[in-house]
Amino acid sequence: AQTVTQSQPEMSVQEAETVTLSCTYDTSESNYYLFWYKQPPSRQMILVIRQEAYKQQNATENRFSVNFQKAAKSFSLKISDSQLGDTAMYFCAFMALNNAGNMLTFGGGTRLMVKP
């Protein structure tokens, strides 16, 4: 079974600054994906960024980038030029690519507040 840990329950950042959210995971799987999902006050789950474990290059999506350290089983999210609309809960999630269903295992979440 997989576990995902987000050690920062809450964080805050000033608008336009950079913030990094931490995530570690534990698995014996060799083939998997990692994701960051954003959940704003509307409660909708929105995919922010994905990382395939076999890719060494860190994924980037505009202001969002990850630092994927496979050996350390670490997957942090960096948000650059933070905007008020980035205020949300952020969930790190793991998905194994096997025949067991490919469900998502989520961390406990980090509540991010962007301050003006």
Partner 1 sequence: DSGVTQTPKHLITATGQRVTLRCSPRSGDLSVYWYQQSLDQGLQFLIQYYNGEERAKGNILERFSAQQFPDLHSELNLSSLELGDSALYFCASRPWGSGAYNEQFFGPGTRLTVL
Give yes or no for residue 44 binding partner 1 (CB under 8 A): yes
Which range of residues in 14-22, 53-61, 68-76, 96-104 is near partner 1 by CB under 8 A?
Answer: 96-104
Q: What's phi and psi for 85, nearest 5 deg?
A: -70, -10
d(CA 63, CA 28): 31
Single-letter amino acid, residue 95 = M
Nearer residue to partner 1 within complex by CB, 15 or 61: 61
CA gap 93, 107 in Å, rounded: 6
The β-bridge partners of 89 are: 39, 111
Q: Does residue 47 belong to the site contacting partner 1 (CB under 8 A)?
A: yes
Residues 65-94 that bind partner 1 (CB under 8 A): 91
Tell me the two tokens of residue 43.
């409660």
Considering the rule CB under 8 A, would residue 8 count as an interface residue with partner 1?
Answer: no
- The correct pick among 17, 60, 83, 108 for binding partner 1 (CB under 8 A) is 108
Stretch binding partner 1 (CB under 8 A), from 13-21, 43-51, 60-68, 75-83: 43-51
SS3 content of the chain, % helix, strand, coil (to 5): 5, 50, 45
Residues that bind partner 1 (CB under 8 A): 33, 35, 37, 42-47, 50, 91, 95, 97, 100-106, 108-109
